[in-house]
């Protein structure tokens, strides 16, 4: 799949996931450098908010917006911001922005999420922008791969998809 970043065409590595696919298991890194394993969230609705870098305006807006909405969604929903930022930067960002209702994980080490979910931008080793929602049974319920990486995700559509699952 191709996306644009500031108008420049770039290729995404891996196959994009589709609605009704089984959500691929993956590993990443938590802000405290411990291992994150997606299997630990089985039985919950999981919102993967995917961003290139939390230190940019659109990405920080996305992280803050989903964090605010997470509080309203209940205990059966977990919101996870995924980027290739180092865990230290993510931890600083979350503290600075008051991110307390969602978590951030880093795909910097192995790009496991990016490869398995089709979000890894080949030439930049960053993730593209989008949203993936996984239902309580581990199936993909919603996807959005933003064509122009500098544009926002469709918050309304993603949140409607989550609410339909709870």
Nearest in space to 47 (alpha carbons), one of 147, 151, 136: 136
Please give the helix or strand (H or E) that residue 25 lies within, else none: none
Rounded Cα–Cα distance for residues 31 and 91 (Å): 5
Which of the residues 3, 12, 51, 59 is marked catalytic? 59
Alpha-carbon distance of 133 to 143, in angstroms, equals 6
Is 84 annotated as catalytic? no
Quote the longest CA-to-CA distance of the chain: 40
User: Which burial class, exposed, middle or buried, applies to 136 when counting CB atoms under 10 A from its CB (0-12, 13-18, 19+)?
Assistant: middle
Cα separation, 112 vs 49, in Å, equals 15
d(CA 94, CA 102) in angstroms, rounded, equals 9
The residues carrying an active-site annotation are: 59
């Amino acid at each position: 799949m191709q996306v644009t970043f500031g108008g420049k065409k770039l290729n995404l590595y891996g196959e994009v996931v589709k609605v009704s696919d089984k959500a691929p298991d993956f590993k990443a890194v938590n802000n405290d450098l411990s291992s994150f394993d997606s299997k630990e969230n089985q039985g919950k609705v999981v919102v993967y908010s995917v961003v290139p870098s939390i230190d940019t305006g659109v990405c920080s807006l996305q992280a803050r917006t989903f964090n605010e909405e997470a509080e309203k969604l209940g205990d059966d929903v977990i919101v996870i911001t995924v980027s290739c930022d180092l865990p230290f930067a993510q931890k600083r960002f979350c503290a600075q922005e008051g991110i307390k209702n969602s978590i951030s994980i880093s795909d910097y080490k192995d790009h496991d999420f990016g490869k398995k979910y089709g979000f890894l931008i080949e030439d930049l080793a960053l993730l593209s922008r989008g949203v993936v929602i996984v239902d309580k049974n581990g199936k993909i319920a919603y996807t959005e791969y933003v064509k122009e990486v500098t544009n926002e995700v469709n918050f309304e559509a993603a949140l409607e998809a989550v609410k339909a699952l709870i």
